[in-house]
Structure 1
Amino acid sequence: MRTHTGEKPFKCDQCDYAAAQKCQLDAHLTKHTGDKPYMCGECGFRTTAKRDLSRHMSTHTGYRPYTCDQCDYSAIRKSSLDRHLKKHTDENPYMCWECGHRAATRMGLTTHMRTHTGEKCYKCDQCDYSAPKKSRLDRHLAKHTGWKPYMCGECGYRTNRKDDMSIHMRTHTGERPYKCDQCDYSAARKCHLKTHLAKHAGQL
């Protein structure tokens, strides 16, 4: 009934936080204590919440259930897919004053601005590599670990990314899902179609 009444009897004794359920207060208190009881057996990642560990574990299994129906993107979380889908629509309210690039989120614009400033805040702890995005650093780190869980059953090609494997498999299936709307051209990769369309636009 507290969801209807708004009653929050469980108070934090260190800040103004209050919760309707004791388990919510217990989870909150770990922020003050720094206690992270949930640990990943693969890499040692620790977290305060069991659900966060479940999400983290999908980075090892490669399970990315939320897929974009317009490109090769896939995500672990629905919120990430929702954010990505805005790139395919006109919902990009944040504009770069340097080049006019538009982003769906403020964080997306902040990340984009690093292409102008040259800022690379994500540092590799094993070499001098640095990157403007965490996703690029994660991709780089796989080179150090050699972790490539995805293997092609046709030719033995291995990769650490599920979307790379999907693209690779098209070399065997011949699938070319990206179609030109001005001629008969089709491509296995979206970037190849973009290059082709630029020819129609007279940009190449």
Structure 2
Amino acid sequence: MCGECGYRTAWESTLSRHMRTHTGEKPFKCDQCGYSAARRSNLNRHLAEHTGDKPYMCGECGYRAARKSNLSDHMRTHTGEKPYKCDQCDYSAAHKKSFDLHLAKHTGDKPFMCGECGYRTTLKSLLSRHMRTHTSVKPFKCGQCDYSAARKCSFDLHLAMHTGDTPYMCEECRYRTTKKSDLVNHMRTHTGEKPYKCDQCDYSAAHKSTLNQNLAKHTGDKPYMCGECGYRTAWKSALSDHMRTHTGYKPYKCDLCDYSAAHKSALNQHLAKHTGDKPYMCGECGYRTANKSHLSDHVRTHTGEKPYKCDQCDYSATQSSALYQHLAVHTGDKPYMCGECGYRTAKKCTLSRHMRTHTGDKPYKCDQCDYSTTVASTLDNHYKTHR
């Protein structure tokens, strides 16, 4: 029996292993990096990341894995098996971790707490991952380049860039991805399923992150702040995006030309100009677009729907961006500031346009002559001279 928590077992070796959860001892060391583990089996799995060995293969689709347990998890994508059943509702899950997270919704139990900031979570693994935000430790090292990651899921995604491995495939449209969660999200574009429900209004969403954005509208909470200009936001990702207006960082590069973008969505829109691909079509008028969000916006021109409501007056809008711009009328908030001259504006696009007065950048180019301009609408007017 464990003297710390009362855990009991029939085997001394199991008790010794259990005690390491209290002492933090990790006697099994990797001889190729700084990784260490409490269990030999964990070290063996880690070593496979250095060797690239994946001995376990799926007979259905050829997917390969370094761990037998990962192959078992993968097989459920073919069989649809969900062995973990909730005894309080009709929920079932293919994986125990998903099941444990679900159970916490019934109990509200979050036993693992961060001593630095008070963050609480249902899973010990999530607390370990959270702690790296304080320590900046990135234990997962790529053996093929100098990339390192704080999370194994991020590391696995990076490795897929080297191997080209995309084991998860949609049977509807042959879409392939490296992440099972991406496939689950993708399938909702076919089914229309929106499982995430807001408990304060009738809003529902296909993705949890989208629901979290909706909830922030109810609470008004904006915990993330820019140290440069005081801009505040409800989302960490939005703050990261905002910071690029100060740094000018554009990490997303086009491999067909010299275009680069601050945001992945902007790069995806740009790539559609090279391919001409417009997979999203309006059933009413045949309008086609490269972006699903653009199609959703367009459909509202037919339905007249204006789902974005102002809670301070009777204004409503077809697009969330229009509502945010309107809210600035009430608050007077101008979060976007030019680092060159101090100009402030309520709109990010207006700041981007303003910055061109400093840089001289003219990104809108005529494909019939050498004319270029800083503003898209000016290019549209220019095209009329060629007609």
Q: Same fold (TM over 0.5)?
A: yes
Kept in 2: contact 1:74–1:163 (CA 8 A): no
| Aligned CA distance change for structure 1 residues 136 and 83 (closer, same or farther; 3 Å) | farther
Q: How far 1:186 moved relative to its partner?
A: 2.6
Q: Matched residues in 2 for 1:90 and 1:181: separation? A: 11
Q: TM-score, normalised by structure 2?
A: 0.38
Residue 143 (str. 1) matches residue 273 (str. 2):
yes
Mapped to 2, the partners of 1:91 and 1:184 lie a distance apart of 22
Contact 2:188 2:194 in 1 (8 A): no
From 135, 149, 173, the equivalent of 2:303 is: 173
Maintained 8 Å contact 2:196/2:211: no
**Cα displacement string for residues 38-75 of structure 1 (whole angstroms, at most 9, x for unaligned residues):** 59xxxx983487684434557877839577869x9966
The structure 2 residue matched to 1:122, chosen from 241, 252, 260, is 252
Q: What is the CA-CA distance between 1:181 and the residue it aligns to?
A: 4.1
Deviation at 1:172, TM superposition (A): 1.0
Name the Cα RMSD after superposition.
4.8
| Residue 163 (structure 1) aligned with residue 281 (structure 2) | no
Instruction: Supply the distance in 1 between the matched residues of 2:165 and 2:327 (Cα, whole angstroms).
Output: 46
Find the counterpart in structure 1 of residue 116 from structure 2. none
Cα pair distance change 1:65/1:198, threshold 3 Å: same
Partners of 2:324 and 2:235 in 1: how far apart?
Answer: 24
Instruction: Identify if the C-alpha distance between structure 1 residues 46 and 94 changes in structure 2 by more than 3 Å, giving closer, same or farther.
Output: same
**Structure 2 residues without counterparts, runs of 5 or longer:** 1-8, 55-61, 65-161, 169-176, 334-345, 347-387
Residue aligned with 1:119, SS:
coil
Are 1:32 and 2:50 counterparts?
Answer: yes
Query: Given the superposition, is the C-alpha separation of residues 173 and 109 from structure 1 closer, same or farther in structure 2, using an over 3 Å criterion?
Result: closer
CA shift for structure 1 position 118 = 1.2
Question: Are 2:133 and 1:133 aligned?
Answer: no
C-alpha deviation, 1:152, in angstroms: 0.7
Q: 1:54 aligns with which of 180, 184, 193?
A: 180
Task: For 1:12 and 1:48, locate their aligned partners in 2 and report how far apart those are by CA, in whole Å.
Answer: 28
Take 2:293 and 2:196, find their aligned partners in 1: how far apart are those partners? 10
How far apart, in 2, do the equivalents of 1:108 and 1:196 lie? Answer: 19
Kept after mapping to 2: 8 A contact 1:94/1:102: yes
Q: 3-state DSSP class of the match of 2:266? A: helix
Letter in 2 for 1:159: T
**Corresponding residue for residue 283 of structure 2:** 153
Distance 1:57 1:170, change over 3 A: same
Deviates more, 1:129-138 or 1:179-188: 179-188
Task: Classify 1:145/1:19 alpha carbon distance in 2 versus 1 (closer, same or farther; 3 Å).
Answer: farther
Q: Distance in 2 between matches of 1:68 and 1:52?
A: 27
- Report deviation, 1:102: 2.4
The 3 A distance-change label for structure 1 pair 104 and 181 is closer
Paired with 2:49 and 2:167, the residues of 1 have a C-alpha distance of: 10
1:98 aligns to 2:247 (yes or no) = no
| Aligned AA (1:120) | K
Q: In structure 2, how many angstroms separate the alpha carbons of the residues matched to 1:81 and 1:202?
A: 26
Preserved contact between residue 151 and residue 158 of structure 1 (Cα < 8 Å): yes
SS of 2:265's equivalent? Answer: helix
Query: Percent of pairs identical after alignment?
Result: 51
What TM-score, normalized by structure 1, do the two folds share?
Answer: 0.63
1:193 is displaced (CA, Å) by: 3.2
Partner amino acid, structure 1, of 2:300: R
User: Which runs of no fewer than 5 residues in structure 1 stay unpaired?
Assistant: none
**Residues 97 and 153 from structure 1, CA distance in 2 versus in 1: closer, same or farther, beyond 3 angstroms?**
same
